[in-house]
Structure 1
């Protein structure tokens, strides 16, 4: 089924959560579920779930609900989990090393093929079966191994300095931890920015609001 061109990013961001919950249901031996039952498990409204899935054609049956395994397969297709996009990672510091070591890229539609770092002490060593290469080899590698995605776990200034080279290598898609804003300098790129400090500060606000609310209740 074709995706409607007006699907909002908020809907897209909920799809992995649906996929994860449906996987848990399948493991528990649950074969079908209604939007109401799914909403109770996920903390969403049944209407929200139906609206989200209807963006992609809808997959439920009146009086039956959703077939868990079929819906999960459809969401996997929408998310492109079978695409196996060739991917490189630049920056094998603590964050980059954790990502390489602990994320199952193959199960998420990505094929991590190479890692780069400008630390001479790391170059030539291996991680997850891959030899860490110096970024000077980037063009040569991408010429021999067409790459669609780059993961950037490097400082903002380093990412900005490297950006033009990545674009010239034909890479237009980025999982970006660097805080460099590709969209300011380049058009027609796909960027998923990950700001861990922003997330931490958001948590701080929510915690403080929670504590303030609890304090108010205590005073009452």
Structure 2
């Protein structure tokens, strides 16, 4: 099994899902092999960039042949642990939390939301997508009884840091953070920040530049 190189820069890591998506689409189109040049044209990268990215994990192409698409998909899935199963909880049962729950429900099946939590009593003791919504006061006891891999934070910025500390203190080692709070964690904690506002502001900048 391939492992994610600790020397791989994060921009390379963030491109791997894009490689995976494009390669899956190619396979669905009946294409079984592809050169770095053809793949680069499809993805808007350079051929040398693709070779450099994949070389962080060993390099998989053959000169004069290119990449076997099915084999490369399997390698990337190993690198990204796509075929592992992850039990998740969502903190925040508002519109964002429910939208994330819907999204995960439509993934390939490697992630499953087991429970949702909220401080608003009006949102708790209900079921959404066959998922029980609990009060935050029940979180500690729930985590003692259930093995959870990932806590997804869909809370306002004002409570992001406090909620993160709460789940970490109760044994959670991985956080997918959709709050806009800047959360500092120890080296033993994995966190992925999803700053939707920053992405939107990047878009508005590009719109402005495009009009010049």
TM-score normalised by length of structure 1: 0.90
Which stretches of structure 1, 4 residues or more, deviate above 4 A after TM superposition? none
1:199 aligns with 2:199: yes
Contact 1:81–1:110 (8 Å) recurs in 2: no
Q: Which has the higher helix share?
A: 1
2:14 aligned residue: 13
1:80–1:109 Cα contact (<8 Å) kept: no
Q: Deviations over 1:118-167 (max 9, x none)?
A: 22222121111111111111111111112221110101222222232211
1:22 aligns with 2:34: no
Secondary structure of the corresponding residue to residue 182 of structure 1: coil
Q: How many residues align?
A: 211
Q: CA RMSD in A?
A: 1.6
Q: Secondary structure at the match of 1:103?
A: helix
Deviation at 1:63, TM superposition (A): 1.3
- Show structure 1 runs of 5+ residues with no match: 213-220
The answer for the alignment partner of 2:33 in structure 1 is 32
Find the aligned partners of 1:166 and 1:7 in 2 and give their Cα distance: 29
Q: Which runs of 5+ in 2 are unaligned?
A: none
Aligned to 2:120: 119
- Larger deviation: 10-19 or 192-201? 192-201
CA shift, 1:105, in A, is: 6.7
1:20-53 CA-partner distances (Å, limit 9, x unpaired): 0011101111111111110111110000001101
Deviation of 1:2 (Å): 4.2
